Amino acid sequence: MFGFNRAKKLMVAAAATAAAAAGALLTAPGAVAAPQPIVGGTTTTASAYPYVMQITNASQSQFCGGTLVSPTKVITAAHCMVGRTTSNTRVVGGRTYRNGTNGTVSTLSKIWIHPSYNSSTMTSDVAVLTLAVAQPYTTVPYVSASQTGVYAAGTTARIIGWGTTSSGGSSSNQLRTATVPVVADSVCGSSSSYGSEFIASSMVCAGYSSGGVDTCQGDSGGPLMIGGVLAGIVSWGYGCADAQYPGIYTRLTTFSNTVAAQVNS
């Protein structure tokens, strides 16, 4: 793990680029037992989750994930896009393997980072990418501002990505997925977990109290899906799949109206 300090899950994207941010998820409420191994997940395919995008550098080396919400719009994490430009960033759809060559590669015409994003507190960790080349894959809806009920403690959420399968380990070449329960704000913000570093208005936790299932380095920006709807964005956490430290996601309902203005522009 990265130690008990605030840490995004970082991955170095190709030799010619700076380190690119990549987030994590972790563990959840009560005494729910974690299923077998994202960390603790199973392999899957891009055809099973066609809306999950690779965010890459110009050489198509993946460093973050994103979610296709319209043919030309991808929602991801703000920390993935800090320091990036439209010329050195690509979005790749329809590619199951990180080292694959198939799928659709899109250049970008715009990168929007939430103006209130704070890299110290990790609040407002959301960005919207506008694609110059449309992706032909199935899109997914995202939560509206009123759908706060999706975050009820114990609700099953799905995580999907190409991140490492252990903290500091190697990235998964193949897309992986797992399910995790949403964690109560009171648990995530307790003194035995993140305490005051967890800001409920901007964040939501998901994972198992015993650890074992989580997003990790390379999964940042990817989706937290609840009921077939994008409800969160992989943001940050302590380590990967560590007990008592659930993964933290951007609470998308808080930012839905602002994001919608970008998606619809």
| Torsion sign across C-alpha atoms 262, 263, 264, 265 | positive
Mean pLDDT lowest among 8-12, 50-54, 65-69, 237-241? 8-12
> Residue 164: beta bridge partners?
171
- Residues 177, 42: Cα–Cα separation, whole Å: 6
Mean pLDDT lowest among 91-95, 144-148, 209-213? 209-213
Per-residue confidence (pLDDT) for residue 72, from 0 to 100: 98
Both structure tokens of 75: 């929602």
Please choose, from the candidates 237, 170, 214, 219, the residue with its C-alpha nearest in 3D space to the C-alpha of residue 63: 219
pLDDT tens for residues 217-258? 778 999 999 999 999 999 999 887 777 899 999 999 999 999
Compute the average pLDDT of residues 178-193. 95
Per-residue confidence (pLDDT) for residue 37, from 0 to 100: 31
Confidence of residue 165 (pLDDT cuts 50, 70, 90): low
- Residues 25, 207: Cα–Cα separation, whole Å: 7
Q: Is residue 67 part of a domain?
A: yes
* Strand ranges for the chain from DSSP E: 10-12, 19-21, 42-43, 52-57, 62-70, 73-76, 89-93, 104-106, 108-113, 127-131, 156-161, 176-183, 203-206, 223-226, 229-236, 247-251
Annotation says 61 is catalytic: no
Per-residue confidence (pLDDT) for residue 18, from 0 to 100: 31
| Torsion sign across C-alpha atoms 238, 241, 245, 248 | positive
User: Of 124, 171, 172, 220, which one is the catalytic site residue?
Assistant: 220
| 153 shares its domain with 32 | yes
- Residues 44, 64: Cα–Cα separation, whole Å: 17
Both structure tokens of 45: 């395919």
Annotation says 220 is catalytic: yes
User: Of 61, 79, 202, 256, which one is the catalytic site residue?
Assistant: 79
Q: Are 114 and 255 in contact (CB under 8 A)?
A: yes
| 168 shares its domain with 128 | no
User: Of 61, 106, 124, 125, which one is the catalytic site residue?
Assistant: 125
Half-sphere exposure (Cβ direction) of 220: Cα atoms closer than 13 Å: 31
Q: Please tell me the pTM assigned to this model.
A: 0.86
Please choose, from the candidates 246, 220, 245, 218, the residue with its C-alpha nearest in 3D space to the C-alpha of residue 233: 220
- Residues 165, 216: Cα–Cα separation, whole Å: 7
Q: Which residue has the tokens 């080292």?
A: 99
Q: DSSP letter for 184, please.
A: P
CATH number, residue 102: 2.40.10.10
Number of Cβ atoms within 10 Å of the Cβ of 148: 14
Both structure tokens of 240: 């990967």
For residue 168, pLDDT beyond 90: no
| 125 shares its domain with 221 | no
| 199 shares its domain with 247 | yes
| 32 shares its domain with 115 | no
Half-sphere exposure (Cβ direction) of 98: Cα atoms closer than 13 Å: 24
Residues of the domain holding 172: 19-46+142-254
| 156 shares its domain with 239 | yes
Local structure of 75: helix, strand or coil: strand
Q: Is residue 120 part of a domain?
A: yes
| 77 shares its domain with 115 | yes
| 198 shares its domain with 221 | yes
Q: Is residue 194 part of a domain?
A: yes
Half-sphere exposure (Cβ direction) of 210: Cα atoms closer than 13 Å: 8
Count structural domains, the chain.
2
Annotation says 79 is catalytic: yes
Local structure of 108: helix, strand or coil: strand
| 171 shares its domain with 234 | yes
